[in-house]
Amino acid sequence: MRVTPPHPIANAIDDQAAEWVARLDANPDDTDAFQAWLASDPRCFGAYARARAIYLSPQVGDALQAQRLPQAGELTRRSAMAAIAASVIGGLFFLWPRAKPAPVRLYDSVLGEVRVIPLEDGSRITLNTDTALTVEYSKTARRIHLMRGEAYFEVAKAPDRPFVVTGPMAQVRTVGTAYTVRLVDPAEMKVRVTSGRVALESPPSRLAQSLMALTDAWGGFGASESRASEKSGVFVDPDQEAIIRLADAKGDGGQVLINISTLPSEAIQQALLWREGQLSFAGDRLADAVAEFARYSPRRIVIRDKALERERISGLFAVKDVEGFARAAAVSLGANIKTNGDELILYR
């Protein structure tokens, strides 16, 4: 019987996919290079999907637990764990069934863009500015991996296919509802629910827990915090906001903390006006409003007065009219404005 050796390029792509699965867990912000790799060859999508499926399998978890790491610095340990994971995934590629994997689709938006993505099941994703995510649909689940930015999810009901959005510190599970997920920074996520109910759970990735020291983090919440795990979720209801953050490792042992609060319905709806190209402020600090505008435009507003930063501002503004907002703020707060290249400087 003649055996055809594996194609060297295909093998290389599989190896790269294994490395990317581990690499994105170690550094979730490394998305530009990941997107470039996905676009480099049509086979990259399938290879990444297979690597991710292997990575979430019990075999990988058992293999990782069998590895012993030296007591080195955290960065060294993270690099070692990533290397171990890549080698384990690569080794299992040739044992894994080669059934056709669920397709992985990458969607993104550029700075200042709002993009609507209709999905095959009737669900819809609206990407806010500078957002990137992947979509994996299989017969049993609908999985979204949010890599950066913010998105609004309108989920079609399908009880037998849960809709799961995964971020660095938690995953959001539902079968039919509407909500936003925003990655504020590498240590903070926000979830706001407009209808239905969502469950917050710890991320399923074993390596992510090892890399971020989260294995014990889900068990040490303070009295005012909530606990999430794969078996017992924390639920977020309509008009509620959940802030999930990685606490300071020095002060709180690297714990993941969840704080849930109820907001007025009007506040939830106003926060979603970005879908219509608008930003609404109701007594917000000027510094916070300026930071929000910075998400949508390369043009910057610079505040040269600490007291002015703390002033409050209200109003409805177009996200693309940075100068209009800056001039309205100057008039409203009795400030001066001048331009310096692409900068709009507010001062008193």
Q: Is the pLDDT assigned to residue 252 strictly greater than 70? A: no
Contact of 239 with 263, CB cutoff 8 Å: yes
Domains of the chain from N-terminus onward: 8-93 (no CATH), 104-267 (2.60.120.1440), 277-347 (3.55.50.30)
List the helix and strand counts (H, then E) for the chain.
11, 19
pLDDT at 347: 95
Residue with tokens 């710890």: 202
Residue 339 reports pLDDT greater than 70 = yes
Name the band, by pLDDT with cuts 50, 70 and 90, for residue 295.
Answer: very high
- Vertex 225 angle, CA 221 and 226, to 5°: 85
Q: What pLDDT was estimated at residue 32?
A: 72
Whole-prediction pTM value?
A: 0.67
pLDDT tops 80 at residue 230: no
42 Cβ neighbours under 8 A, 6+ residues apart = none
Does the pLDDT at position 76 exceed 90?
no
Tokens of 169: 């510190």
The whole-number pLDDT of residue 10 equals: 54
Q: In the structure, what pLDDT confidence band is assigned to residue 68 with cuts at 50, 70 and 90? A: very low
Average pLDDT, the chain: 78
- Could you give the strand order of the β-sheet that contains 178-185, starting from the edge strand earlier in sequence? 115-118, 124-127, 150-154, 178-185, 188-195, 240-246, 256-262
pLDDT confidence band for 6 (50 / 70 / 90) = very low
> How is residue 90 written in tokens?
């690569």
pLDDT for the residue 216: 32
* Local confidence band at 181 (pLDDT 50, 70, 90 cut-offs): very high
Q: Which residues touch 140 (CB under 8 Å, ≥6 apart)?
A: 160, 161
Q: Look at strands 336-340 and 343-347 and give their pairing.
A: antiparallel
Q: Look at 6 and 332; give whichever has higher pLDDT.
A: 332
pLDDT of residue 270: 93
Band of residue 176 on the pLDDT scale cut at 50, 70, 90: confident
pLDDT band at 328 (very low <50, low <70, confident <90, very high): very high
Calpha distance 244→201 (Å, rounded): 11
